[in-house]
Every structure is written in structure tokens, then in C-alpha cells.
Structure 1
């Protein structure tokens, strides 16, 4: 690759795809300041807003995924897919990339498939421990496949795999906030065990309902809550917080580093980015995987940690009965907390973005 090489990064749809994509872009620029980077996403998806905020250009494709809940909405899919391939053809011709990186999401497939047909080096970042079907199809002709965990040979050609982990936000990697500063930030009591409940930016119905139904168990056991509810449950949770000073509730937490610092125990979904951040934060976690994620990959992500004694797992369907008793028992068991903290901490990766960027630049130079 000549100095000032050109790289396309394709994908998006969720924070779990967009965040690592932006982190890889930052790392590429850091290692090779003259590199030109273009993002390709799906029109109407959150990457169209988040990528420009991070300082990069993005082109949106007219593409959508298969709608499982309403088959009638899939009528236009073949036309959108054909149109997206025409759009990609034009983008590749105009931008002439030296490499294309796919991070998952609707736009990944047409961009990487088209690049492979033209003999352009392609790279895949698979964040989950259960690979998506599109990535498996693309993996056969990819130059290199970056994965988060071991055991991915069942999805991809073994010789192309490189275990890098998942890129984690720098404010969490470099977090120096103490527990007492975190507790103070939420106006809670430093002498009490603190549980941080998070269902991601959209919230988690199963987790929220389980917490709400068993809220008295926290109060009776002198355990306090930092409860990120998502928009849909914010009103109910705020009413709970108003009547109890042991509960801090809000729809969203922008400064996650304070929540991680304050927490003794975390309740979380098991998206790839959440798992990566929790490994870096070194917290005992009770995972409640989202049961409707594609290929049930969140359960696979959580089970991967459970197998290494680095986390606990409660099914979403059993959360109402089992989640809070499990968390209260863990809050009382210092030895189990210590074991989970140490084991999850050993899985932490803090430089995945740079490892990916360096390998891409090495292989196309």
C-alpha cells in the first residue's frame, strides 16, 4: 500500500458493530496518519449519525435485513439487495480502496462480496463467539478474520483466524475513578454493596421486570442499585427510586466509567461489546442474555465466560424467579466475587483496535 492508502469500513446497525468500527478507524489513523477512510452503512441506521460524529465520512446503502415479524415487509428485499450491489460497485470504482474491513450489519455483505469479486483484500471483525451466517460465507475468501474468542475454527478457515479480542472504549480502558468517587457520583452510600443493572442503550424488558418484581429483596438485604433502564422502563423505575434512596434510576448513563467504578456486582445482557467492557472493568457479572439475538449469540457469549468461571448466567425466561436471589447470594459471598473478578479480568483485552489496524496495514503494504 502506498502512503496515503485507502480503506473502506463497512457495517453498523448497533453500537456493538459501530463502536469497534470507529475504534479500528482511530487506530488506523494513529498508525498511518495519511490513510483515507470511508465508511459504508445502511440508510436509516444509527451509523449514519454516529460515524460523522466520530469524524469520518459515510455513504448509506438502500438495504434492509429480513423482517421475521412481518413477512409482507420483505417483498422489496431482493430489489434493495440488487440496488445495494449497484451502489457498492459505484463506491468501489470511485474510491478505489486498498482494503475493505467488515464489522457486521446489513452493509457488510454487499461491500465485502463485491470487493472479493474484484480481488481487493477483505478483513472481517467477528465480535461474537457465535459467528453470523453472512460473515461465515464471506470468511472463505477473506484475507484475515479477527475474532474475539478461541474456538472459532468451527465457523472460519483456521489459517485465516487471528484472535484479537474486541475494541473497548478508551474511557473504560483508562478508567482511574475510585469506587468512592463512583458511589458519590450517584449519591449512594459507600458502606453498602452496590449492584449496577444495565440492559444496554435500549434497556432490557426481562431484566427490568425481574428487578422491579423483587425490589424489596434489595432493600431488605441492604443492597443498593444503580439501574439503567432504557427509555421504556424509565418512568416506573424513577417512581421506585423516588420512594427509596437506595435506588438510583435513569434511562441512560453517558458516563459508564462511573457506574463500573461504583459497582460491586453487575447485571448485564451479553452483547459482545458489553462482555469486552466488563472484562476490562473486572467486575463479578450475572449475565441475562437477550434470547432473540441472531443465532442466540448472546447466550454463546455468556456461556463462554461461564465455562471459564468468569461469570454467572440466568436465562431471560427464568429471570423473574432466579435473577435477584442469585445476585443477593453473590453479594453475600466475598470468595465467589473475588474468583469471578480475577477470572473475568484475565480475559481483558485493551489493545484490540491497534492489533487489528496493524495487521491490516501489514498485509496490504
Structure 2
């Protein structure tokens, strides 16, 4: 018996699976990842020396009729090619995204025990499709919308490298923008535009741009005469993210589920800017649950500009002790990995 961890296309679908894999490895349970061929999974999993199989599959949404027909044929071809990796005694857990669909189909054909983990506050299309066939559906948020199947609130697994911390009694003035592996051009641009005002008000900036957007963001700082400023640290990626979490006081982030649960674990206040085009606006609902727990504030993309960002950062700093600290102290994080493994009888 082995566990097949299926999903990918983005780090948000991959990192919860990695958190589960860490525990499976410690329990000496065999596992393998079934992921997309976009390259992000290859880069991350190769560094961890985890076994993985890449699938040639594309997202289904926003395709023409002919495009969708071609994807169906591609899925059938991949099901035939990859079925040899699945045995009847295997346990298959889908982490969502288009890269989970093939494993879900093969699990049904092979008769494998099927499980689902939904990261976001609105259940995604692939997970909804397979939920009725799953032995259990693990959900991250208590108020997850469009849930199907036998649901159990597990929270979202966070990598063991993210250390749970106690919130600071006194908030400093270090702001960290987390752009993720892909980065966000919108957030990068707004932070560059806001940098002068923040630095003049005594803030220090840690700006993680995403690897592909590093050079263009660096050029923008240079054009404003801010490149090399001692109060601005520019990074393409955060290899030791826990080190930077410990340095940061206020975070600026998208509202993917992985980021939300990491931020709740390290108990930092954040400015969340949900991705406007996220399916069914799920990033907004992710952020809403975090804000209700006292983790920060939301700025929707339509309202985002440098003045609003600086204003919200200053509000968090000013109101931290009275408004945010008491709620951050009350946050209780779940042992999501253990809940999921118990639910899978592992």
C-alpha cells in the first residue's frame, strides 16, 4: 500500500501535500506525488528528494468547445498512461486543481480508497466532482461553501518548517510583502509606489517579488532612486521563510489558503489583497475568515492604491494592541496532518 498525493499547478495545492508527505515519511509509509508538468512541482519536489510523476494536463476553465474536447482526449490518454502507478490497495488523496483530476479518475477505475482535501473556502470544481465518491472530504475552513461529500474540518496542513509563534506584545515597523513563487505584479507595483512613503514614516520593507518578476521590480526601485536603500530588502524567493516570518511585523499577502494558514500559525497581522480572478472569488472568502479571527484587514483589488495600502498598514500598527493582539492570542491552530491521517486510517 502507498499513498498517492495528487494535485498541483500552484504552490497552494502542493504545499499541503508536502506537509502530509513529511509525516508519511516519518511513519515509513510509501508515497508518490502526481503533479502537473508546469515545472514548479519539479523544482520543489526534486529538492526534497520526493518521488513524483508529471502529468500532461491543462486547466479546463475558459477553454473553447474544441479546446475542451482536446482536453478530454488528453485526459483519457494520461489515464491510460499513468494507471500502472495505482494499485487497488493504494489510498489516493486529491488536493484540488486540474492536476488532481486524472488521479481521481484512475482511483475510481482501480477501486482505490479516495479522499479529498479542499484548501479554500469555496470548494473547487475538481474536488466537487469527486467528493461524492470520497470516503472523507477534509475541509480547511469551517464555513467552506459548496461542500459535497462526508466533510470533516481539518484545517490546511502547514509545513513543519513554519514554526508556531506567540504574537508580539509590541509591534515593530517591518513590513513584508509575500509574493509567492510566482509573484504578483500588481502587489509588486503597489509596494514600489508605497515604498518612499513607508520608509519616510519609519518602516522597513522586506519585498519578495517572485522569481520571474524580480528584475522588473528591481528596475522600478532603481528608477525611483530606492535601490540599495538600507530599509528595503529585495528578494526573489524566501527559501528560509520562517526566518523572514520572525523578522516581519506586518504582512502584505494574497489570500490563498496556504498563506492564510501560515499567517495564522505565526500569528502576524496582515493586509490581505485577494486575487480578483480567483475561481468563485474564493480568496476573498479565505481572507474574510482570517479577518474574522483577527488576523488583519482586506483591501479588494478595485480599491487598491499606494495611499490605501499605507493607510491600512498604519492602522494595523496604531490599533495593534487594542484590536489585533487580543484576537491573535486566541487563535487555535489544528493539527491538520494528524486529523487527515487519522481520517485515512494511517
Query: Smaller-chain TM-score range?
Result: 0.7 to 0.9
Query: Retained in 2: the 8 A contact 1:11–1:107?
Result: yes
TM-fit CA distance, 1:218: 0.9
SS at match of 2:123: coil
Query: Retained in 2: the 8 A contact 1:145–1:162?
Result: yes
User: Corresponding residue for 2:44?
Assistant: 50
Q: Matched residues in 2 for 1:88 and 1:220: separation?
A: 57
TM-fit CA distance, 1:299: 1.0
User: Corresponding residue for 1:354?
Assistant: 338
Query: Retained in 2: the 8 A contact 1:166–1:349?
Result: no
User: Corresponding residue for 1:102?
Assistant: 94
CA shift digits 1:92-119 (9 cap, x unpaired) = 2xx4443111112323122123313443
- In the alignment, which of 126, 138, 142 is matched to residue 134 of structure 1? 126
TM-fit CA distance, 1:326: 1.3
1:181-192 equivalences in 2 (<5 Å)? none
Q: Count matched residues.
A: 339
SS at match of 2:162: helix
TM-fit CA distance, 1:174: 5.7
SS at match of 1:129: coil
SS at match of 1:218: helix
| CA shift in 2, pair 1:261/1:323, >3 Å | same
TM-fit CA distance, 1:280: 0.8
User: Corresponding residue for 1:62?
Assistant: 56
TM-fit CA distance, 1:345: 5.2
TM-fit CA distance, 1:348: 4.7
Structure 2 unaligned regions, length at least 5: none
TM-fit CA distance, 1:312: 0.4
Residue 254 (1) aligns with residue 244 (2): no
Query: Retained in 1: the 8 A contact 2:274–2:300?
Result: yes
Residue 145 (1) aligns with residue 137 (2): yes
Runs of 4 or more off by more than 4 Å in structure 1? 69-75
Q: Matched residues in 1 for 2:342 and 2:46: separation?
A: 23
User: Corresponding residue for 2:163?
Assistant: 173
TM-fit CA distance, 1:215: 2.5
Residue 335 (1) aligns with residue 321 (2): yes
SS at match of 1:122: strand
Q: Matched residues in 2 for 1:162 and 1:169: separation?
A: 20
Residue 30 (1) aligns with residue 26 (2): yes
TM-score normalised per structure 2: 0.87
Residue 220 (1) aligns with residue 210 (2): no
| CA shift in 2, pair 1:258/1:155, >3 Å | same
Query: Retained in 2: the 8 A contact 1:6–1:96?
Result: no
Query: Retained in 1: the 8 A contact 2:164–2:266?
Result: no
Q: Matched residues in 1 for 2:329 and 2:79: separation?
A: 43
Query: Retained in 2: the 8 A contact 1:11–1:102?
Result: yes
Residue 84 (1) aligns with residue 68 (2): no
CA shift digits 1:163-197 (9 cap, x unpaired) = 11111122222679x98xxxxxxxxxx99611111
CA shift digits 1:292-317 (9 cap, x unpaired) = 22222111100112233432000122
Q: Matched residues in 1 for 2:203 and 2:34: separation?
A: 46
TM-fit CA distance, 1:220: 2.8
Q: Matched residues in 1 for 2:123 and 2:16: separation?
A: 16
Q: Matched residues in 1 for 2:113 and 2:282: separation?
A: 27
Query: Retained in 1: the 8 A contact 2:274–2:301?
Result: yes
User: Corresponding residue for 1:322?
Assistant: 308
- In the alignment, which of 267, 272, 295 is matched to residue 257 of structure 2? 272
